[in-house]
């Protein structure tokens, strides 16, 4: 099996450690977070904790697509992280990516970044509406999202678990993770507001984010809120429709 790897120039000196982490991924490292879709493990190098994400082997169609026509999720994660870093947008420091292929098929890939300590994710804001300084954090997050949009960053997986938050005694810092789905370019009003649709089902949170985004942009609050709430409801409907369909398919399969 052929190996392709790209290591950030600042981490060339730990290449041997990185190689070992990938080769022995199954038997070394400490599992971290949700392991359902992809596998995450933490590895220690001196005083630095390294986060290695192992992407599952794609289906046969995507094995061909990633082998010849598309960049892998690992490569996109690495390249997008570097782009965000250049734009001074928060994301864990990218270190490297590895890919393994055969002559005609794409197999495994890994994205490596420096592990980031954080206090919460956006998800905690959706599950605990009484979280300390809830509204202040939510407004700061909205300003962070506005900054993404102003930089022409359309984060397609802008969902509750994909923003890490450091509290820093009120100087809130936000960091994007799960980066492999992004578009870059000027965003129109509808695209900007739709980008909030996966974040929460709570109308009170939509009201706060709409108010803050209207302040950032100069857009009319009612216009922002009406579209943000409409897109949120539409996303929820699609989500549960898909869930019901999967449940029916599983029933027929069984």
CATH of the domain at 91: 3.30.200
pLDDT tens digits for range 11-68: 999 999 999 999 999 999 999 877 677 899 999 999 999 999 999 999 999 999 999 9
In this structure, is residue 253 part of a structural domain?
no
Q: Is 70 exceeded by the pLDDT of residue 252? A: no
Print the domain residue range for 183: 120-242
- For the beta sheet containing 173-176, the strands, ordered from the edge strand earlier in sequence to the opposite edge, are 120-121, 163-166, 173-176
Confidence band for 200, pLDDT divided at 50, 70 and 90: very high
The total number of structural domains in the chain stands at 2
pLDDT at position 228: 97
pLDDT tens digits for range 233-249: 999 988 777 766 666 66
Domain end point (choices 72, 95, 114): 114
User: Is there a single domain that holds both residue 206 and residue 108?
Assistant: no
User: Is there a single domain that holds both residue 38 and residue 61?
Assistant: yes
Give the predicted TM-score (pTM) of the model. 0.91
Which of 33-37, 97-101, 211-215, 246-250 is predicted least confidently? 246-250
User: Is there a single domain that holds both residue 133 and residue 40?
Assistant: no
């Amino acid at each position: 099996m052929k190996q392709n790897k790209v290591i950030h120039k600042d981490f060339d000196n730990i290449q041997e450690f990185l190689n070992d982490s990938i080769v022995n991924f199954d038997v070394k490292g400490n599992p971290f977070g949700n392991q359902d879709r992809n596998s995450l493990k933490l590895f220690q190098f001196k005083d630095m904790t390294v986060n290695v994400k192992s992407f599952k082997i794609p289906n046969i169609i995507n094995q061909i697509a990633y082998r010849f026509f598309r960049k892998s999720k690992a490569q996109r994660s690495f390249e997008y992280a570097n782009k965000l870093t250049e734009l001074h947008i928060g994301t864990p420091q990218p270190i490297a990516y590895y890919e393994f292929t055969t002559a005609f098929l794409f197999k495994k890939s890994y994205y490596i970044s420096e592990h980031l300590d954080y206090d919460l994710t956006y998800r905690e804001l959706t599950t605990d509406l009484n979280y300390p300084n809830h509204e202040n954090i939510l407004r700061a997050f909205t300003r962070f999202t506005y900054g993404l949009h102003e930089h022409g960053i359309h984060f397609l997986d802008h969902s509750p678990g994909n923003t890490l938050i450091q509290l820093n005694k009120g100087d809130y810092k936000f960091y994007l993770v799960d980066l492999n789905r992004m578009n870059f370019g000027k965003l129109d009003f509808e695209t900007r507001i739709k980008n909030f649709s996966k974040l929460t089902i709570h109308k009170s949170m939509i009201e706060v984010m709409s108010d803050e985004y209207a302040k950032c942009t100069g857009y009319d609050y009612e216009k922002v809120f009406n579209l943000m709430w409409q897109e949120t409801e539409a996303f929820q409907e699609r989500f549960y429709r898909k869930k019901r369909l999967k449940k029916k398919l599983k029933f027929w399969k069984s």
